[in-house]
Amino acid sequence: MGLTLCKTNMAAASPDSTRTFQRDVEEDESQFGSTLCLSSSYYSVFVVRLAIMIMLAILVGLLTLLTWHITRVYTTRSLKTLAYGLRHELLQRPLLRMWNILNSTVEVATTQVKLSESVIRRYNKPAASQADQVEQLYQVMKELTWALFASRKALNSITLSYRNGFVQAFHRNHRSNNTYYIYSDLTNYSIATSYSVNLLSSHQGWNDQSIHTNMSAIWYREPLDPTTGDKTAKAAPIPPDELINIAGISQVPDGTASWHIAVSKYTDSPLLSAALPVWDASHKSIVAVVGVTTALYSVGQLMKELVEFHSGHIYLTSQEGWLLATSTNTPLLMNSSSGPKLMMAVDSQESVIRSGAEYLSRAYGNKLPPSQDVHIESARLVNRLYYIDSFFLNLKRLPMVGVIMIPRQYIMGKVDEKAFKTLMILISASVCILLVGWFCIFILTNGVSKEMKLRAALISHLDARRRAEASNNYKSQFLANMSHELRTPMAAVIGLLDILMSDDCLNNEQQAMITQIRKCSNALLRLLNNILDLSKVESGKLILEETEFELGRELEGLTDMFSVQRINHNIETVLDLSDDMPKVVLGDSGRVLQIFANLISNSIKFTTSGYIILRGWCETVETESKKRESYLHPKESWCAQKLKRKREAAQGKICSKKDNKMMLWFEVDDTGCGIDPDKWESVFESFEQADPSTTRLHGGTGLGLCIVRTLVNKMNGEIKVVKKSGPGTLMQLYLLLNTPAETTKQHYQLNFKDHNLTVLLALNGRMTRLIMTKWLREKGVQTHEASEWNELTLNLQDFFTNDNSQMAESETHESNLGSSIFIIIIDVGLLDLSTELWKQQLNFLEEYCADRASFAWILNHDTSKVVKAELRKRGHLLMVNKPLYKAKLVQIIEAVIKRDRNLHLQTPVADHEFHEIDSLQSPSASSDESEKLDNDSCNAIRGSEYFSRGPLSQSTLSSSCADYIHVNLEDDVSILSKERSSTKSYNEDKEGGAASSCKAVNEQKRPLEGLCILLAEDTIVLQRVATIMLEKMGARIVVVGDGIQAVDALKNKSQSNEHSDAKALPYDLILMDCQMPKMDGYEATKEIRRWECGSGWHIPIVALTAHAMSSDEAKCLEVGMDAYLTKPIHCKLMVSTILSLTKGT
Amino acid sequence: MEIVGQLQKQFVDFSTSLNHEGFLDEQYLQLQKLQDESNPDFVCEVVSLFFDDSEKLLNNLATALQQQVVDFKQVDAHVHQFKGSSSSIGAQRVKNMCVAFRNFCEEKNLDGCLRCLQQLKHEYFLVKNKLETLFRLERQIVEAGGTVPVIG
C-alpha cells in the first residue's frame, strides 16, 4: 500500500522535476550554451545510478545464491549419506540372505557328506553280503537324506550319486508343493565296479563317460508325503527330460566343494547348487557326490519385500551377468528350445532393470570394476532419476553382483521439491528486494542528481559570472589603455588647431570656424573622457570633482556648441537662465555639462522642428525644501517619499555644515515627439529607449539618459519627465551644488534703465524673442518685436515717425539724461539672402536709422562671407553668432552703450573691439584683438576698460585674454592676478589654456622667464626632453632622479636659502613624476607637504604621469599635488599649467 | 647643390614615411622643434640617451624574466619606464608594444611577457635603425652644406 502510494507520488513528482530541469537546461542553453558540461554531468549521474543498481543486483543475487546453496547443499549432503546408508542396508540384506542360503546349503551338503561318509564306512565291510549290504546302505542313506531334506524346507533337492551310478535324490517342487524321491534303476549297476576305488584313484577321478552311460538308466520317481516322507504313490519311471539336476562327479573334479547356478524346469527361479564329494574311509577315493540345490526364490521374495516400500528395484547377477534374483515378479528364466535358461540382466522383462543394466554396461562395459562398488547418483532410467548402487560379493566359485536401483524421487523428491520452492521463494524475494532497492536508489539519487544538476548550473553560473567580471575587467583595462590612445590623436587635432589659430593669415571667418572646430574638438575630448569614465560610473567608482566653475558660461558654451549641430534643423535653441543663478558654483563642471549635453543632444535627436529651451533657476536649500516636496511628492509613491526623506535627512547634515548649498533647477523643454507617459521611468534605464524603432530612426544606444540619471543622483539631485502641455518632452531636474561663499551674491547687477534703452528684436525664433523681450522688459528696457522683414519695416517706420516727433520734443531732455539709445538686433535670416534683395534691404535700414540706431546682427554659422563682408563694409561691426542668449545680449547692449559714450572720440579701435563680443570664450578673440592691439597705442586704456568691466563681464573674459594681458601689461599684474585667482580653475587651464599659452609662446618666446623649476624624473630621456622644453621657455631647471632626491634638494636649498632670504622657496614649482624608483611621486609629495606644514609655504607640485584615468588625477590631488599632466608632455599645456600655478601665488 | 637637394628630398620622404608607418609620432616633431642654435644636437642627444636607456632596460627585462620566480612588479616597473621614455621621443610602436606588455604583466602571463619582450626588442631595433638612418641623412645634408628641412 505504502509502496503504491509512494509510487503515485513519485509519478506525480517526476514530470515536474523533469520539466524544471528542462527549463533549467533551456535557460542554460540560452544563457551560456554550455549544455555539454551539463549533459555530461547528467550522463555521469545516470551511469552512477546504473552502476549502483547493478551492484545492488549483484549483491542480492549473490546473497540469494549463497542462501540457496547453503540450505540445499547441507540437506542434500546429509540426505545423501542417509540414502547411501539406506541403499547399502537394503542391498546388504538380500546379500545376507543369499549368504545365509549359501551357508545353509553348504551346511546341509556338508552334513550329508559327513553322514554319508559315516554310513558308507559302516557298511563298507567286505565281509557282508554285497547285495544286502548295498541295499541296506541305500536304505539308510535314503532315510538319512530324507531327514536332512525334511528339516530344510528351503532346499529344493538333495541328490546323492554313488560311484556306481546309483542316484538317490529328494526333490521338492515348490510350485505344486509335491515332494518326490527319485532314484535310478539299480539293476544296471554292478556293485563291483562301484568298488573299484583303485581304478578310480588311478584314474584320478570319475570318467565322464560313466555318467553318460548312466543316462541310459531308467529313473523312477516316487511321490512322498512332504511331511512324513511316506510313500504316497507307486514309483513311476520318468523320462529323462523330467530329470532334475543331479550333481555328478564331474562337478567335483578336484575333490573340493563346488558351486554353480542351475535352472530347473520345476522352478521359475534359478537354483543354487552345491556339490561335495564323499570320500571313503581311507580318504583315497570318492565314493559318492552329494548335491544340494536351493531355490533362490526366497531371496527374490525378500528383495521384493524390501524394495516394495521404496518402489525401487534390486537384482542380483552372477559375475557374468546372469540374473539370479530380482525384486520383481518377472520370470528370471528364459524358455528356449533346450529348456529354461538363465537370462542376462539386460534381457530382463522389467524395463527398469533392463535399462539399469544397460546403463551400467554402457558406463562400465561388460566388465564391472572387480571388487569395487559402483554408486551412481542420478541415472535416468525410463524417464526417472534413479540411484544405482552395486556391490560385489566375492564368493569362491560364485562371485555375485548386487545392484539396487532406487528412484531419486523417493529419497530426494521432497528435498528437491523443497529446494525448488526455496529457490523460487528466494528468487522472488530477491527480485522484490532488488526492485525496492532500485526504487530507493532512484529516489535517493534523484535528489543527489538534482543537487548535482543545480550545482553544475551554479558552477556554470559562477563561471559565467567570473567570465563576465573578467570581461568587464578587460573592458576597464581596455578603456584605461585606450584613453591614452584616444587622447593622443585628439591632442594632435587640438594642437594642430592651435597652430592653425596662431597662423596670422586667417581671416575672421576662418578664425571663427576654427574656433568652432576647436570647441567641438574639446567637446569630443570631453566626451571621450566621459566614455572612459563610464566604466567608473558603472562600477560606482566615479569621483566627482569639487572645483569652482562658472555654470552660466559653461552652459552658454554648450548651447553654442549645439547650435552648430542644430543648424541643419529648423530648431531654435534657447538658453534661459534666471538672474538669480549663482555665477560660480562648486562642483564637477565636466559632469554637469555632461548631464546637459546628453539631455540636449537627446532632445535634438527627437526634435525635428520647434525649439529646445534650457531653463535654469535657483532656490536655496532652506527655502525650497517645502516647495519641492509639494511639487514632487504628490506624483510619487510612498516608497520614493521615504527614500527622499532619508536623503533629505542626509542633506540636512550637509546643510548644517555648508550653508551656501544651492538647489539649481533645470528644465529641458523640447517640441519633439515626446515620450509615452508609461515610459517616463524606464527611459532612464540602461539601453532603454522609449520606442524600439528609435534606434532605426535616430540611432543611439540608450545609455545617455542612464548616465544622466546616475550623475544627477550622484549630485544629490533628481531627474524626471514632467507632464507638458503641448507636444514634446519636459525633463526636470535639480542639482544640489555648493557655491563659494564670497561669490554667492554676485549676480548680475544690471541696470539699463539709466540709459534709456530701446531695443528692437527682429528675430526669427519665436521663443528666443519671447524670452528676451520678457527679460529686457523686466530690466526696464523698452522692447519691440518683429518676426519677419515686413514687420520690421513696419515697426521701424512706426517707431521712427514717432521717435522723430519725440526727439524733436525732448531734445533738451535727452541732452540731460544722455541720448536715448536705440538698438536694432536683426537676425540675418530676416534678410532675403536668396536674391540680391538683401542689399537693398540693408540700404533701407541704413537710410532709416544709420545715425540714430545701432545695429547688431545675429549671424548663422553658415552665413556667407559676402554678407559678412558687406555688413562690415557698411560699418555694422556688431555681429554675434546664433543662438542669442542673455550674456550676448548684455554684451551687445554694453557695447552699444560704450560706443555711445565714446562716440565723440571716434576711435576705430572701439569699433574693432565690438566684433569680439561674438567670441566670448573663444581664444580666437584674443588672437584677433592682440593682433590688432600690438600696433595699438591705447592698449593701456583698453586694458583698464576691461578691468572696469570686470565685475560685469567676468564671464566673457577668458583666461586667455588674461594671460595675454598679463604678458603685455606687466604693471597690472597684481590686479590681474587677483582677478585670475577668483576665476582660476584647472578646467580652464586645460581646455582653454592650451590655446592661450600657444598664443603666449608665439608672442613671447620665454614665458617662464625667471622661474626655477625642480624636475623629478627617473627616465633620462624624459628628463632631457622636459629640461630642454622648459629651458626654451626661459625657466631654470634642476633635475633630480627620484623622490628622495627631490625632497632632499628642496630641503637643502631652502636651508641654505634661509640665511639670505627666509621667505622665498628655492623653487617656484616642482614637476613630479609619479612612478619613480626609491620614492615615488606620491610619497615625495606627501613628504614635501609634511615638511611644509607649519612654514606657511606651499610649493606648487605638478604631477607627471603616464596614466590617463581621472582616478589617477584624483590620487594626485589627494596627496597634495596641485595639477596633473599626462605623458608625453604637451609643451603648451605644461606651460599654461605652470603659469597658472606660479602666477597665482 | 643638387646633391643637397636630393638628400633633402630623401630626408623629407624618409621622415614622412616614418611618420606614416607609425614609427614616430608628433612627439618627435616636438623634439625637433626644441632643437635650435643653443641646443644644436638636442634630438640626437635625446635619442642616444633613449638608446642607452632602452638597452639597459631591455637587458634588465631579459634578466628579470629569466629568474626562477619572476617578479612581475619589477618587470612592470621596467616596462613602465620604457613606455615613458619611448613615448617621450615619440617612438610610437615601441610605446604601443609596452602597453601590450604591461597587460601581460598584470595578468602575470610569463609566455606573453617573453613574446612581448621579443617583439619589443624587434620594434626597438627597428626604430633604432630608422633613427640612425635619419641622423645619417641629416649629417650628410649638413656635410654637404645644406640645411636640414623642417618637417611638420
ipTM, interface predicted TM-score of the complex: 0.73
For B33, name the nearest residue in chain A, comparing CA atoms only.
A1029
Go through chain B and tell me how many residues it has: 152
Owner of C-alpha cell 652644406: B145
- Nearest Cβ partner for B34 among A481, A1032, A1128: A1032
- Nearest Cβ partner for A1019 among B26, B27, B85: B85
Selection from A42-46, A57-61, A740-744, A830-834 with the highest mean pLDDT? A57-61
Q: What is the pLDDT of residue A459?
A: 92
Residues A225-244, buried b or exposed e (16+ Cβ, 10 A)? ebeebeeeeeeeeeeeeebb
Q: What is the pLDDT of residue A460?
A: 92
Closest alpha carbon to A827 in A763, A760, A777: A763
Owner of C-alpha cell 529646445: A612
Cell of A484: 591614452
Residues of A in contact with B77 (CB under 8 A): 1075, 1077
Q: What is the pLDDT of residue A989?
A: 40
Is the Cβ pair B88, A481 closer than 8 Å?
A: no
pLDDT, mean of residues A893-910: 63
The gap from C-alpha A255 to its chain's centroid, in whole angstroms, comes to 109
- Nearest Cβ partner for A1018 among B26, B36, B81: B81
- Nearest Cβ partner for A1022 among B25, B52, B84: B84
Residues of A in contact with B85 (CB under 8 A): 1019-1022
Residues of A in contact with B42 (CB under 8 A): 1028
**Furthest-apart CA pair in chain A: how many Å?**
231
CA distance B29 to chain A (A): 11
Is the Cβ pair A1025, B106 closer than 8 Å?
A: no
Q: Which of A137-141, A656-660, A896-900, A943-947 has the lowest mean pLDDT?
A: A943-947
Q: What is the pLDDT of residue A815?
A: 39
User: What's the pLDDT band for A33 if we cut at 50, 70, 90?
Assistant: very low
For B89, name the nearest residue in chain A, comparing CA atoms only.
A1021
Go through chain A and tell me how many residues it has: 1145
Is the Cβ pair B90, A1128 closer than 8 Å?
A: yes
Q: What angle do CA A145, A146, A152 make, to 5 degrees?
A: 95
- Nearest Cβ partner for B85 among A481, A488, A1021: A1021
Residues of B in contact with A1135 (CB under 8 A): none
pLDDT, mean of residues A1096-1107: 78
Is the Cβ pair B46, A484 closer than 8 Å?
A: no
**Furthest-apart CA pair in chain B: how many Å?**
60
Selection from A705-719, A799-813, A910-924 with the highest mean pLDDT? A705-719
CA distance A483 to chain B (A): 12
Is the Cβ pair A1106, B87 closer than 8 Å?
A: yes
Tell how strand A1069-1073 and strand A1101-1105 pair up: parallel
Is the Cβ pair B89, A1021 closer than 8 Å?
A: yes
CA distance B24 to chain A (A): 13
Residues of B in contact with A1073 (CB under 8 A): 84
Query: Is a pLDDT exceeding 70 seen at residue B34?
Result: yes
Which positions 76-95 of B are in contact with A (Cβ < 8 Å)? 77, 80-81, 83-85, 87-90
**3-state SS, one letter per residue, for A403-428:** EEEEEHHHHHHHHHHHHHHHHHHHHH
pLDDT, mean of residues A923-938: 36
Residues of A in contact with B87 (CB under 8 A): 1106, 1127-1128
- Nearest Cβ partner for B103 among A477, A1018, A1020: A477
Q: How far apart are CA A760 and CA A796, in angstroms?
A: 9
Residues B65-95, buried b or exposed e (16+ Cβ, 10 A)? beeeebebeebbbbbbbbbbbbbbbbbbbbb
Tell how strand A219-224 and strand A1012-1016 pair up: unpaired
Is the Cβ pair B49, A1024 closer than 8 Å?
A: yes
Is the Cβ pair A484, B45 closer than 8 Å?
A: no
The answer to whether the beta carbons of residues A855 and A876 sit under 8 Å apart is yes
**3-state SS, one letter per residue, for A328-360:** CCCCCEEEECCEEEECEHHHCCCHHHHHHHHHH
pLDDT, mean of residues B134-143: 85
Cα within 13 Å of Cα(B144), Cβ side? 17
- Chain A interface includes B22 (CB < 8 A): no
Residue of B30, B47, B86 to mutate, testing the A interface (most A Cβ within 10 Å of its Cβ) = B30
Is the Cβ pair B89, A1020 closer than 8 Å?
A: no
| pLDDT tens digits along A650-704 | 444 444 444 577 888 898 888 887 787 877 877 777 555 666 665 555 545 556 7
Residues of A in contact with B81 (CB under 8 A): 1018-1019, 1075
- Which helix (H) or strand (E) segment holds residue A940: the answer is helix A939-953
DSSP A682: G
Q: What is the pLDDT of residue A1064?
A: 59
Q: What angle do CA A318, A319, A325 make, to 5 degrees?
A: 20
Closest alpha carbon to A802 in A820, A779, A776, A788: A820
Selection from A71-80, A404-413, A715-724 with the highest mean pLDDT? A715-724
- Nearest Cβ partner for B31 among A488, A492, A1025: A1025
For B48, name the nearest residue in chain A, comparing CA atoms only.
A1021
Output the CA–CA distances (angstroms, integers) from residue A1140 to A211, A918, A1067, A1121, in the order listed: 171, 26, 16, 14
Closest alpha carbon to A1134 in A1033, A1023, A1012, A1052: A1033
Cell of A1143: 602666477
Is the Cβ pair B77, A1075 closer than 8 Å?
A: yes
What are the start-end ranges of the H helices in A810-938? 811-817, 837-849, 865-873, 886-902, 908-914, 923-934
Cell of A259: 558351486
| pLDDT tens digits along A612-653 | 888 888 876 554 444 444 444 444 444 444 454 444 444 444
For A478, name the nearest residue in chain B, comparing CA atoms only.
B103
Which positions 23-62 of B are in contact with A (Cβ < 8 Å)? 25-27, 30-31, 34, 36, 39, 42, 45-46, 49-50, 52-53
- Nearest Cβ partner for A1022 among B25, B85, B103: B85
pLDDT, mean of residues B23-31: 81
- Chain A interface includes B74 (CB < 8 A): no
- Nearest Cβ partner for B88 among A485, A1025, A1032: A1025
The answer to whether the beta carbons of residues A1012 and A1100 sit under 8 Å apart is no
Is the Cβ pair A1128, B34 closer than 8 Å?
A: no
| pLDDT tens digits along A498-528 | 878 777 777 778 888 888 888 888 878 777 7
Q: What is the pLDDT of residue A267?
A: 65
| pLDDT tens digits along A347-363 | 777 777 788 878 877 77
CA distance B3 to chain A (A): 32
Q: How far apart are CA A611 and CA A624, in angstroms?
A: 29
Query: Dihedral (C-alpha) A809, A811, A812, A813: value to the nearest 10 degrees?
Result: 70
A858 CB-near residues (< 8 Å, 6+ apart): A763, A825, A826, A827, A828, A879, A880, A881, A882, A884
Is the Cβ pair A1028, B46 closer than 8 Å?
A: yes
Q: How far apart are CA A1090 and CA A1095, in angstroms?
A: 10
Is the Cβ pair A1106, B80 closer than 8 Å?
A: yes
Closest alpha carbon to A560 in A920, A915, A956, A983: A920
Q: What is the pLDDT of residue A782?
A: 80
Q: What is the pLDDT of residue A243?
A: 61
Question: Mean of the per-residue pLDDT values for chain A?
Answer: 70
Q: What is the pLDDT of residue A462?
A: 92
Is the Cβ pair A1020, B52 closer than 8 Å?
A: yes
The answer to whether the beta carbons of residues A983 and A963 sit under 8 Å apart is no
Output the CA–CA distances (angstroms, integers) from residue A242 to A168, A170, A269, A832, B100, in the order listed: 15, 14, 17, 176, 136
Residue of B25, B26, B51 to mutate, testing the A interface (most A Cβ within 10 Å of its Cβ) = B26
* A vs B: CB pairs below 8 A: 66
